[in-house]
Amino acid sequence: METGNTHAETKKDKTEDITIAVIAYLTIIGLVVAFVMNNEKKDAFAAWHIRQSMGLTVLGIAVFAIGMVPILGWLISFFGSLFLLYLWIMGLINAINGKVKPVPVLGSKFEEWFKNI
């Protein structure tokens, strides 16, 4: 009987971890909420996606700052925003599917830069 109960608890924990990971990709407030929720649990899967989302947030701030430069900055910001949207969608899809897969191009750098989170 205990193996069935343990399996149910494991499945519940996995669902909760996926929920925290998905919340991390939903706005900056979601990132903070996911960080606080995972701070109690210390789940590696959720922490992975929190680091990825943190990298996307920092990249978004950089793209926004570049967009303040007239003309060339606007062009870079436009294409950077499209690229950022693509990375965000890929990260969110990976979190929903329960995969520990870095976002394309910069995901491994995000892991390196935010390894202490």
Question: 27-36 long-range contacts, Cβ below 8 Å, gap at least 24?
Answer: 28/57, 31/57, 35/117
pLDDT at 64 over 90: yes
Whether 2 maps to a domain, the answer reads: no
**Domain for residue 10, yes or no?**
no
The contacts of residue 24 (CB under 8 Å, 6+ apart) are 30, 31, 34, 35, 46, 49, 50, 52, 53, 95
Average pLDDT, the chain: 84
pLDDT value at residue 81: 93
Is 48 part of a structural domain of the chain? Answer: yes
Structure token pair of residue 106:
């910069």
8 falls within a domain: no
> How many structural domains is the chain composed of?
1
On the 0-12 / 13-18 / 19+ scale of CB atoms within 10 A, 17 is: buried
Task: State both tokens at 17.
Answer: 């971890």
pLDDT at 39: 81
Res 10: pLDDT: 62
pLDDT band at 13 (very low <50, low <70, confident <90, very high): low
- Show the tokens assigned to 10: 């494991």
Confidence (pTM): 0.78
Arithmetic mean of pLDDT, 15-28:
86
Q: Which domain holds residue 94?
A: 15-111
